[in-house]
Amino acid sequence: MPELFLNGTVGYEITADRVRNFLASENSKEITVVINSGGGLVTEGLEIYNTLRSSGRTITTVISGIAASMASIIFLAGDERIAMDGTLFMIHKPSGISWGDADDFRKEAEILDKMQGGFQDIYKDRTNIADVESEINEGTWYTVAEMKDKGITNSERKITFKIVDEINNDISEVEDEEEMARIDDLKAELEEQKKINAKLAGEAEEAKLEAEIAQLKATNAAMNKEETIEEEKTETVEDDQKEIVEELAQVAAQKKPEVIETKNTVAETTMKNELPAFMQASSKY
């Protein structure tokens, strides 16, 4: 059963437009109106009362705190009327503010008396209060037991509000949504960490490969340097050998046969340049 909560002052937080909009938005034939109000504007309260009474719906009204003054009239719009534990109902004479001369005030008083007459008709029609005018004039408060005794309430059914279940469901849904959102955040963070780790691993592998490449390059450079040195040494040796050969060739080209006489025999022909200096000149013993 849809529930309409009327909390606050009639004519301010509680308005006829709000009630009409609620009824227009609900297709249910049964409506619960929960009231906690100290009253308010007479004309607004009467419009709400008549809107509920003429809605064609089965109306259950519930006092959850107090239904005083104009709110007491709204409460009586219910086909089933329930007062929750410890709640109060109050009726009193209507009051107003006026400005002007004595005639204006007398007219205002007449209007207030007529308003009270209208209230009395509603109380007589909807309750079992014996002397309505007297109790209105005195300003009377009723307990739950007195409401039952005076016919203000006509049901003792224990009621639970659907909105409580809806709130609990909403809380559960919110908690579930928050939990799912938290899980999604954790999953996203995990994926991000995986990406970071993969990137770091890739960078580490890249650095390792670069180090190995650098090491290989250094080794190759050292080997190339050694080969170059060996080649240079070989070329130097070859050049030295070539120079020696050339020098020997020059020496060979300069050889001249010469007979050296001695006292007893003639020496074999030899190369002049191969003899000691003192023997290179022609001499006899």
State the DSSP string of 125-178. HHS--SSHHHHHHHTEEE-HHHHHHTTS---------HHHHHHHHHHHHHHHHH
Measured CA to CA in angstroms, residue 64 lies from 19, 52, 71, 86, 181 at distances of 18, 18, 12, 9, 37
Which of the following is catalytic: 37, 64, 69, 72?
A: 69
Q: Based on the domain organization, do 118 and 188 belong to the same domain? A: no
* pLDDT at 203 (0 to 100): 81
pLDDT in tens, the chain (285 residues): 789 999 999 999 999 999 999 999 999 999 999 999 999 999 999 999 999 999 999 999 999 999 999 999 999 999 999 999 999 999 999 999 889 999 999 999 999 999 999 999 999 999 999 999 999 999 999 999 999 999 999 999 998 876 555 555 555 555 567 777 778 888 888 888 888 878 877 788 888 888 888 888 888 877 777 777 766 666 676 666 777 767 777 777 775 555 445 444 444 444 555 555 555 554 443
* pLDDT at 7 (0 to 100): 96
Which of the following is catalytic: 37, 64, 72, 92?
A: 92
Q: Based on the domain organization, do 96 and 191 belong to the same domain? A: no
CATH of the domain at 93: 3.90.226.10
Q: Is 172 one of the catalytic residues? A: no
Q: Say if 191 falls within a structural domain.
A: yes
**What is the C-alpha separation between 142 and 126, in angstroms, rounded?**
15
Q: Based on the domain organization, do 150 and 168 belong to the same domain? A: no
Q: Is 72 one of the catalytic residues? A: no
User: Total structural domains in the chain?
Assistant: 3
- Which stretches of the chain are DSSP H helices? 16-25, 42-53, 70-75, 102-126, 132-138, 144-149, 162-253
* pLDDT at 270 (0 to 100): 47
Last residue of a domain, one of 130, 159, 188: 159
Q: Based on the domain organization, do 40 and 177 belong to the same domain? A: no
User: Which tokens is 76 given?
Assistant: 């009586």
Q: Based on the domain organization, do 79 and 7 belong to the same domain? A: yes
pTM over 0.75: no
Q: Alpha-carbon dihedral of residues 209, 212, 217, 218, nearest 10 degrees?
A: 150
Last residue of a domain, one of 138, 159, 180: 159
Q: Tell me which residue range forms the domain holding 271.
A: 249-285
**What is the C-alpha separation between 91 and 260, in angstroms, rounded?**
172
* pLDDT at 285 (0 to 100): 39
Q: What are phi and psi of 281, to 5 degrees?
A: -90, 150
Name residue 105's amino acid.
F
The b/e string for 150-185 (b: 16+ C-beta within 10 A; e otherwise) is bebbebeeebeeeeeeeeeeeeeeeeeeeeeeeeee
Q: Based on the domain organization, do 26 and 142 belong to the same domain? A: yes
Q: Say if 209 falls within a structural domain.
A: yes
Q: Based on the domain organization, do 59 and 128 belong to the same domain? A: yes
